[in-house]
C-alpha cells in the first residue's frame, strides 16, 4: 500500500443531521488524517461540474438539487491506501447494502441521501481534490 489522498464530502443530509464529528471520528479511527477541510454551499454550476460524469444518468437532476440543498463539508483525507480505506469506512452507496458499522449503514437514509461522498479511484481523487483545493491548502503531516 502507498500513501494516498482522497476527496471526501459530508453531504447536506449529514450536515443537517449534525454528524460531521461522528464522520470525522470514523475517518481518524481508521487511520485517515484530515489534511484540508472547508464547509461551503455548492452552487448549481459547481454541483453539475463535480458530478459531470453522471450527467446522463436518470438521477442526475435530483442529485444536483440535493447537493445544493444545504451546506456540505469537503475534506481531503490522507493515509496508507486512503482511497479504498475511505470507501470501506463509508460502506456501499446504497445504505441498505452497506456493511454494518459503516457510515452509510449507520447514518444514511437512502441511496441519494447517503451522508458521504468519497473518490472511487486514485485518478478521480486527484481530479476531485483539485476541484476544491489548491496544493498550498493541503497540510500533510
- List of residues contacting ligand CMP (CB under 6 A): 54, 59, 63, 93, 111-112, 114, 117
Answer yes or no: 117 catalytic.
yes
Of 30 and 92, the one with the shorter C-beta distance to ligand CMP is 92
Of 109 and 139, the one with the shorter C-beta distance to ligand CMP is 109
Q: Which residues lie closer than 8 Å to 116 by C-beta, 6 or more apart?
A: 8, 9, 10, 11, 14, 23, 90, 103, 104, 108
Of 8 and 79, the one with the shorter C-beta distance to ligand CMP is 8
Query: What's the grid cell of residue 107?
Result: 447514518
64, 117, 125, 133: the catalytic one is 117
Cβ count within 10 A of residue 113: 16
Q: How far is the CB of 2 from ligand CMP (least distance, A)?
A: 23
Amino acid at each position: 500500500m502507498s500513501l494516498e489522498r482522497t476527496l471526501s464530502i459530508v453531504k447536506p443530509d449529514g450536515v443537517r443531521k449534525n454528524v460531521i464529528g461522528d464522520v470525522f471520528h470514523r475517518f481518524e479511527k481508521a487511520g485517515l488524517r484530515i489534511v484540508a477541510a472547508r464547509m461551503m454551499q455548492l452552487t448549481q454550476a459547481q454541483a453539475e461540474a463535480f458530478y459531470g460524469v453522471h450527467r446522463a444518468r436518470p438521477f442526475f437532476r435530483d442529485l444536483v438539487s440535493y447537493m445544493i440543498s444545504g451546506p456540505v463539508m469537503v475534506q481531503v483525507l490522507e493515509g496508507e491506501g486512503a482511497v479504498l480505506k475511505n470507501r470501506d469506512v463509508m460502506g456501499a452507496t446504497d445504505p441498505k447494502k452497506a456493511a454494518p458499522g459503516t457510515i452509510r449503514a449507520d447514518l444514511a437514509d437512502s441511496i441519494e441521501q447517503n451522508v458521504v461522498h468519497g473518490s472511487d479511484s486514485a485518478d478521480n481523487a486527484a481530479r476531485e481534490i483539485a476541484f476544491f483545493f489548491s496544493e498550498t491548502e493541503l497540510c500533510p503531516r
